[in-house]
Amino acid sequence: MPVLIPLFNMRILMATLLIIKTGSARKRVDPQQGDFEHWFARGLAGAGLTVTVCDVTAGQQLPDYLGVAGALVTGSPAMVTERAPWSEAARLWLAHAAGEGMPLLGICYGHQLLADALGGEVGFHPEGREIGSRLLQSLAPAAQDPLFAAMPGEFMANLSHKQSVLVLPPGAVHLVTGDFEPHQVFRWGEQCWGCQFHPEFDGNITRSYVDSLADDMAAEGLNVAALRAQVQDTPEAAGILSRFATLVADKAKPR
């Protein structure tokens, strides 16, 4: 696993992948699993990157773009439409980074924040919460995409969200869809991706989320037991993290 280095304790190195932390795991998730950044670090291992974490919810300032080879934006219990000051600052940083061609990968909240930064529309899904393991479908453009070309036509992924990208950003390429959530993955430009599903969630983490949200889910009319029983590990979805890390590492190599 890459060593996670707090941003304020390090000099930014050229082969740095920045994890922009926009929240923390729910309290009932097994503490031995760590927090969001640890789940992502497991998936990013092996590419030879220095991985550093900037917790914007704790007031840490995002670094200068120089020396950051790529950035990943985590999920969050917050909502993009709340327009928290830390979220708005991150949105502006991401808009500039995307315009400069930095490799970016936004997950769940990060997916929505990227879409918002690039001119899309974010809001509550009209049919409510999506949670658990779902079957998703790759669209035709995914066959030529650096992260998703290796994915099968259908694959399982783990999810937990209430807000969605309602309208994709202008110029975005739609890569993955689902029966409940159509805008599962988009790419903007050459190497900026938004991904609604959670590649960092294994079956245990997803079950912990279902358990921690069981009362809310029941009040919303969801069948908690059935959704929990369907949860599984989703290795194909998880594979996009290692491919993103490799892409960032290749970009960081001296030319």
User: What is the rounded average pLDDT of the residues 35-50?
Assistant: 93
Distance CA 175, CA 10 (A): 36
Instruction: Look at 42-51, 85-94, 114-123 and tell me which has the smallest mean pLDDT.
Output: 42-51
29 falls in which pLDDT band (50, 70, 90)? confident
Q: Judge whether 127 counts as a catalytic residue.
A: no
User: What are 153-203's pLDDT values in tens digits?
Assistant: 999 999 999 999 999 999 999 999 999 999 999 999 999 999 999 999 999
Q: Judge whether 198 counts as a catalytic residue.
A: yes
20 falls in which pLDDT band (50, 70, 90)? very high
Residue 92: which CATH number? 3.40.50.880
Residue type, 163: Q
Q: Judge whether 108 counts as a catalytic residue.
A: yes
Q: Which of 108, 111, 192, 195 is catalytic?
A: 108
3-state DSSP of 92-148 = HHHHHHHHCCCCEEEECHHHHHHHHHCCCEEEECCCCCEEEEEEEEECHHHHHCCCC
Q: Are 71 and 17 in contact (CB under 8 A)?
A: yes
User: What are 140-157's pLDDT values in tens digits?
Assistant: 999 999 999 999 999 999
Residue 130 to residues 17, 121, 124, 163, 183: CA-CA distances in angstroms? 29, 18, 11, 9, 13
Q: Which of 111, 161, 183, 198 is catalytic?
A: 198
CA proximity to 174, closest of 137, 126, 142: 142
- Angle at CA 202, nearest 5°, toward 98 and 41? 50
CA proximity to 132, closest of 25, 229, 30: 229
Position 156 in a domain: no
Position 131 in a domain: no
What residues make up the domain containing 178?
4-124+162-199+237-252
Displacement of CA 165 from its chain's centroid (Å): 13
Asked if the model's pLDDT at residue 1 lies above 70, the reply is: no
Give the torsion sign (CA, 79, 247, 70, 102): negative
Rounded to the nearest 10 degrees, the angle between the axes of helix 85-99 and helix 109-117 is: 60
User: What are 96-111's pLDDT values in tens digits?
Assistant: 999 999 999 999 999 9
CA proximity to 100, closest of 63, 51, 65: 65
Give pLDDT, residue 44.
95
Q: Are 93 and 62 in contact (CB under 8 A)?
A: yes
Position 48 in a domain: yes
The two tokens of residue 221 are 């009319």
Q: How many domains does the chain have?
A: 1
Q: Which of 37, 130, 181, 200 is catalytic?
A: 200
